[in-house]
Amino acid sequence: MPDPEFDQPRFQQPRLALNRIYTKTGDQGQTHLAGGQRVSKDSPRLECYGTVDELNAFVGMAAVSANESVPALVPILRRVQHELFNLGSILATKPEDVHPKQARVTEAEVRQLEIEIDSMNQELAPLRSFVLPGGTRLNTELHACRTICRRAERLAVSLSREEPIPPQTIQYLNRLSDAFFVWSRWVNHVLAVPEILWEPNQSASGTTKLHNE
């Protein structure tokens, strides 16, 4: 006999029907949280999960590029997209309204990122300077993901000062930004494209002669 406990999904499956895209209920600059509360669209909670949504869009862009150049990274990026949507779900919900089976990020997601970071980082040469985005399109897209992720992390920290949020929120975003950095280096390594290292004296003031001399 199947065990009902293990037959149940870990998180609830979505229950929605999007028959209308615009409702006009947000025309005054407010929207609903998952629990039904009306909040301003520029509230810290909205800013936070809106940035997580922005990050998800950029991860999708990187996944398309990865499919054309480094397919091994695609399943990881697709998984991250689902995890970010889960994170947005929990951030769109006040703590008192969270359902036990509501989607969220957990220690398992954090740990998986750490495993992937350590595994890929072992293939990379130690850094002797900071790196700049470039070399390949996928590298730059992953760096864009990294910076957006850092912004989401900062917003989560700000939100946590005003309202309680799950501790895994900040932890996950912190690890994910590190992962984007390692993945950006790793794809250039796989594609045999040299990294662009930061050279302070490549600036205009660092050169020995100015062009207009």
Question: pLDDT tens for residues 174-199?
Answer: 999 999 999 999 999 999 999 999 99
- The DSSP 8-state label assigned to residue 126 in this structure reads P
pLDDT in tens, 26-72: 555 655 554 445 565 558 888 998 999 999 999 999 999 999 999 99
- Asked if the model's pLDDT at residue 117 lies above 70, the reply is yes
- Asked if the model's pLDDT at residue 139 lies above 60, the reply is yes
- At 3 the pLDDT is 45
Judge contact between 180 and 149, C-beta under 8 A: yes
Query: Bigger pLDDT: 100 or 156?
Result: 156
Banded pLDDT at 8 (limits 50, 70, 90): very low
| Lowest mean per-residue pLDDT among 35-44, 78-87, 196-205 | 35-44
Q: How far apart are the first and last CA of the chain?
A: 85
- The DSSP 8-state label assigned to residue 196 in this structure reads E
Banded pLDDT at 206 (limits 50, 70, 90): confident
* Nearest-5° Cα angle at 142, 41 to 139: 150
CA distances from 117 to 34, 87, 110, 121, 142 (A): 33, 20, 11, 6, 14
- At 22 the pLDDT is 52
The proportion of the chain whose per-residue pLDDT surpasses 70, expressed as a percent, equals 75
Write the single-letter amino acid at 126: P
